[in-house]
């Protein structure tokens, strides 16, 4: 069978699965999720055996320690996957919710009802826990999922998928609810991306290269997450102690994440007062600091930050500091350099807080809080499918609601078009 035919068959299976899932009750979906969690726990040993094959192969290929760590399924991690599914079961079912309804002059009621998207393809790299998380979230939102994981995790992924499909079958949910493309050939991805009309949405999760390839080749809508170049602006009216705590947390608490701060903007009016103790704290925390020319007048030991630095997603303990004239110059900087992921203002001034909220065009805009809080769990979404930096459908953390769309419903009593 050609790769094209193979992928098409899988997609058609998923489409059948989607139709069945869209009709499943919340009870059925929750029961399946809980039984999937139980099955993962019960088969933990077998999963670790399958995972070990991937680890041996990865070592042979000379993959980095960090990559092998991401690949590894310990019994703790398997238990975490199971917990994740149980948490998803506990979340409210978004499907069928009527978000609004109004009456028209001719008497008909028009409303918007939340419905599943249909078939969602997830194209991802290394970490096998994505397999269970993505399948669970899609299932709860009534979507069938087609998974295409990285070749380095193929044995782990297949083992997880087989467990999930086994439960789906036993629970009377169509197996097509969870489908896996076990062809590592790049052609398989290219064929998936052509299946407009069968696959409804593609979510690539991985490095920028993967995401660009998917975007450039897909005829299907893509929701994606490029990088996180996040800012905190310390306004002249900030509580400076609060500002220091927020900036330190935003940079240092976990620098390798997309919601960590990469550039700190400081109002010139309080720069002399704020920076010395802030800089000292960063240095003690092991952060390499790069400053704009004005910042370097305050602390001559800082490296110079150049134009390219302001675009950089460091993902490590490196920080740019720039002194700006006021909130307008801060927002101009953000408009130019931000990746529109998460940007925060620290201020006690109501007017500037409201302007920042309205005018900064990022997926998450904060007042007086650390950018590290930009995440589906912190927002109370219960679980997330990644963070969208796109500008349509969903911006920011994607939870269950973002895995649905709305259709119009009309309740009539014989209305005609006149």
Please report, as ranges, the residues that interact with its own copies according to CB under 8 A. Answer: 19, 22-23, 96, 102, 104, 108, 110, 113, 115, 117-118, 196, 200-201, 215-216, 219, 221-223, 239, 242, 245-246, 249, 253-254, 335, 353, 357-359, 361-370, 372-374, 378-380, 390-397, 405-417
Under a CB-based contact definition with an 8 Å cutoff, are residues 33 and 88 in contact? yes
Shortest distance, position 401 Cβ to its own copies, whole Å: 10
| 179 DSSP β-pair partners | 146
Under a CB-based contact definition with an 8 Å cutoff, are residues 128 and 149 in contact? yes
Shortest distance, position 375 Cβ to its own copies, whole Å: 8
Distance CA 373, CA 386 (A): 14
Shortest distance, position 318 Cβ to its own copies, whole Å: 19
Shortest distance, position 121 Cβ to its own copies, whole Å: 13
Q: Residue 76: which H helix or E strand, with range?
A: helix 75-90
Kindly report the backbone phi and psi dihedral angles of residue 3, in degrees, each rounded to the nearest multiple of 5, phi listed first: -60, -40
Give the other-Cβ count within 10 Å of 235's Cβ: 23
Helical axes 26-42 vs 129-140, angle rounded to 10°: 160
Residue 254 or 280 having the CB closest to its own copies: 254
Residue 216 or 307 having the CB closest to its own copies: 216
Give the other-Cβ count within 10 Å of 224's Cβ: 20
Shortest distance, position 192 Cβ to its own copies, whole Å: 15
Shortest distance, position 280 Cβ to its own copies, whole Å: 19
Residue 187 or 196 having the CB closest to its own copies: 196
- Compute the chain's Rg from CA coordinates: 24
Under a CB-based contact definition with an 8 Å cutoff, are residues 360 and 343 in contact? yes
Lookup: tokens for 258:
């997309």
Residue 41 or 355 having the CB closest to its own copies: 355
Shortest distance, position 95 Cβ to its own copies, whole Å: 9
Distance CA 66, CA 346 (A): 35
Shortest distance, position 15 Cβ to its own copies, whole Å: 10
Shortest distance, position 275 Cβ to its own copies, whole Å: 19
Residue 41 or 227 having the CB closest to its own copies: 227
Distance CA 201, CA 385 (A): 13
User: For residue 361, what are the CA distances in angstroms to 218, 286, 343, 372?
Assistant: 26, 31, 9, 18
Lookup: tokens for 385:
């499918």
User: For residue 180, what are the CA distances in angstroms to 131, 169, 400?
Assistant: 9, 15, 21
Closest CA to 357 of 327, 387, 401, 381: 327
């Amino acid at each position: 069978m050609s790769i094209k035919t193979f992928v098409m068959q899988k997609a058609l299976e998923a489409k059948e699965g989607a139709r069945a899932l869209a009709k499943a009750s919340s009870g059925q979906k929750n029961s399946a999720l809980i039984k999937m969690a139980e099955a993962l726990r019960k088969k933990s040993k077998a999963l670790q055996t399958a995972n070990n094959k991937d680890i041996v192969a990865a070592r042979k290929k000379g993959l980095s320690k960090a990559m092998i760590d991401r690949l590894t399924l310990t019994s703790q991690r398997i238990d975490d996957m199971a917990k994740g599914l149980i948490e998803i079961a506990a979340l409210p079912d978004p499907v069928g919710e009527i978000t609004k309804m109004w009456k028209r002059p001719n008497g008909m009621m028009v409303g918007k009802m939340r419905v599943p998207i249909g078939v969602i393809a997830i194209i991802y790299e290394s970490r096998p826990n994505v397999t269970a998380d993505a399948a669970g979230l899609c299932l709860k939102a009534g979507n069938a999922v087609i998974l295409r994981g990285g070749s380095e995790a193929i044995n782990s992924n297949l083992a997880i998928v087989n467990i999930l499909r086994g439960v789906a079958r036993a629970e009377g949910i169509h197996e097509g609810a969870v489908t896996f493309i076990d062809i590592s050939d790049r052609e398989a991805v290219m064929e998936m991306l052509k299946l407009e009309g069968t696959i409804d949405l593609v979510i690539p999760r991985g490095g920028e290269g993967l995401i660009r390839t998917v975007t450039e080749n897909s005829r299907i809508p893509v929701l994606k997450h490029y990088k996180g170049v996040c800012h905190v602006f310390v306004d002249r009216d900030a509580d400076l102690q609060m500002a220091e705590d927020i900036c330190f947390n935003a940079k240092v608490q976990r620098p390798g994440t997309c919601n960590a701060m990469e550039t700190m903007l400081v109002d010139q009016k309080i720069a002399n007062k704020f920076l010395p103790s802030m800089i000292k704290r960063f240095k003690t925390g092991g952060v390499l600091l790069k400053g704009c020319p004005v910042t370097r007048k305050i602390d001559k030991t800082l490296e110079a930050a150049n134009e390219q630095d302001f675009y950089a997603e460091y993902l490590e303990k490196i920080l740019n500091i720039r002194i700006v004239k006021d909130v307008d110059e801060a927002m101009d900087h953000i408009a130019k350099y931000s990746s529109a992921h998460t940007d925060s203002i620290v201020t006690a001034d109501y007017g500037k807080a409201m302007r920042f909220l309205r005018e900064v065009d990022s997926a998450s805009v904060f007042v007086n809080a650390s950018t590290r809080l930009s995440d589906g769990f912190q927002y109370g979404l219960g679980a997330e499918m990644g963070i969208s930096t796109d500008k349509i459908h969903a911006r920011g953390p994607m939870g269950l609601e973002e895995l649905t769309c709305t259709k119009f419903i009309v309740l009539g009593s014989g209305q005609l078009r006149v």
